[in-house]
Chain A
């Protein structure tokens, strides 16, 4: 009930302004186009044998589109916690939510799920437009096979973003730090280029990001691989889900305790 109340409220406020929805989609497409064209310019065309050898997927637009859409969705819980909570603080509505008997974890999860769903809707549109523009080979089977992985990824992303939920209540102005983190994820998760071009230590570090594995699995499924062939990446994803939820929850509880001492406050 709490989750649906928060989701309904956020959807109403977001989709009430069509211009905001249109601008989000346009920004998404423009960002995607420039990266794909840049990649093609560097690779000398759409298809790259080198990319296929290192990642199993030689078609650069497909490679970039999958990584990009997943990245966008993966950062949305973090954005919800950082900017969503900040917005509530600025509005003065955050304390009014805290004052209710609803659990704060439920309220914040509702916020993150709302943003995740809104971004998923936007990204489905961007994905569909991207698929048409770049003539991405898509089948219903690939989409159906990808769905459980996407759902698992979303759960991992929610846990990953939860690390920020507590911090934002306490520090309030961690927006710029979170942005650095978002772009670090773009860099470390192999969204636009294969990870094997990076030094070994950086490759090892990239394993800590759920997005790295989510993108690798979905790309594998797109080139016709079965779940067993990408099992290693799926296992990573499944291990990271409880790890990030656990870390996020502990940080959150600690930050919540401090926040009750200093006050939820506002701006």
Chain B
């Protein structure tokens, strides 16, 4: 049995509240995706903002009703068996506002333990071990509002483990975190899979995160899975292509005749990074073309192919476009 089985899952959002007798237009957010996740696997959903990652997670965690298709979590149907699923899963949602800031870390976990029906006998022991696990035991009595962003995320993870879930969903778990906190979260998630055998589905738009953490990755764009494989196999798609990264300052041409995509744009320093498969013969032409358009080139580097290149090859765009 698979931990997660998804078959042609679709989600359309109404533009307005669908009251009876009201004509409503629908927006397609997820356009029929299918995949399976094995028990004890760390599965990643990689895609740009608005690709349908969060919508998929919300459907799989029973927070949203799918428009069509089906999905099973641990053998339970997401439409019919919501309570059975909710007992066995948990979610680390995107953003830091998923906790009660006016409660302490301990009080937050106590509240969530209770609404997950954790018995009184187990409650204290479990909260203590979770807070120690995420390194917040010393700060357990501090109000969450006084926690740093990284501490809040660690508490959110502890909260998501309060019911000892078999399947854990993480939606952009390192978004907005500092480097140190991101490393902690990634290592912690990997340990959950390797040492505790939990199944994890995480969404991210950080390719390095997906590449480093996931056993398999589904690349999602415009509500469709456009590739699904192990990170190594995905990279084989661009193995024979030379990835070139060009840093520019100031004005950047919106489109180039080559498959170059904007992968980074720093508004403060006004630096833009273009990346794409450009071979040695073509490179001088690219540089000349950019110079003619008054682009200020800071650097040109040849890079090892990454998932970003896979995404560019499949979509013609960068992940952060």
Contact residues of A with B, CB < 8 Å? 1-2, 4-6, 8-9, 12-13, 16, 90-93, 95-102, 107, 170-171, 257-258, 260-264, 266
The 7 closest A-B pairs by CB, nearest first: A92-B97, A5-B114, A260-B65, A101-B86, A100-B115, A102-B115, A13-B102
| Interface flag for B213 (CB, 8 Å) | no
Beyond A93-B98, A263-B58, whether A9 also contacts B103 by CB under 8 A is yes
Separation of A170 and B14 alpha carbons in the complex (Å): 13
Size category of the binding interface on chain B: 20 to 34
Q: Which of B18, B98, B103, B116 contacts A101 (CB 8 A)?
A: B116
Which of A6, A91, A257 has its CB near the most chain B CB atoms (within 10 A)? A91
Q: Which of B63, B65, B95, B114 contacts A99 (CB 8 A)?
A: B63
Separation of A4 and B260 alpha carbons in the complex (Å): 58
| Interface flag for B319 (CB, 8 Å) | no
Cβ contact within 8 Å between B100 and A264: no
| Interface flag for B283 (CB, 8 Å) | no
Separation of A101 and B82 alpha carbons in the complex (Å): 8
Cβ contact within 8 Å between A98 and B63: yes
Which of B13, B14, B100, B107 has its CB near the most chain A CB atoms (within 10 A)? B100
| Interface flag for B93 (CB, 8 Å) | yes
Q: Which of A1, A6, A9, A92 contacts B107 (CB 8 A)?
A: A9
Separation of A163 and B83 alpha carbons in the complex (Å): 24
Which of A93, A101, A107, A266 has its CB near the most chain B CB atoms (within 10 A)? A101
Cβ contact within 8 Å between B97 and A2: no
**Minimal Cβ-Cβ distance residue in A for B118:** A1
Q: Which of B14, B91, B115 contacts A5 (CB 8 A)?
A: B115
Cβ contact within 8 Å between B14 and A262: yes
Q: Least Cβ distance of A91 to chain B in Å?
A: 6
Cβ contact within 8 Å between B111 and A5: yes
Within 8 A of A (CB), among B261-279: none
Cβ contact within 8 Å between B17 and A95: no
Beyond A13-B100, A97-B115, whether A264 also contacts B107 by CB under 8 A is no
Beyond A100-B112, A101-B83, A261-B65, whether A12 also contacts B98 by CB under 8 A is no
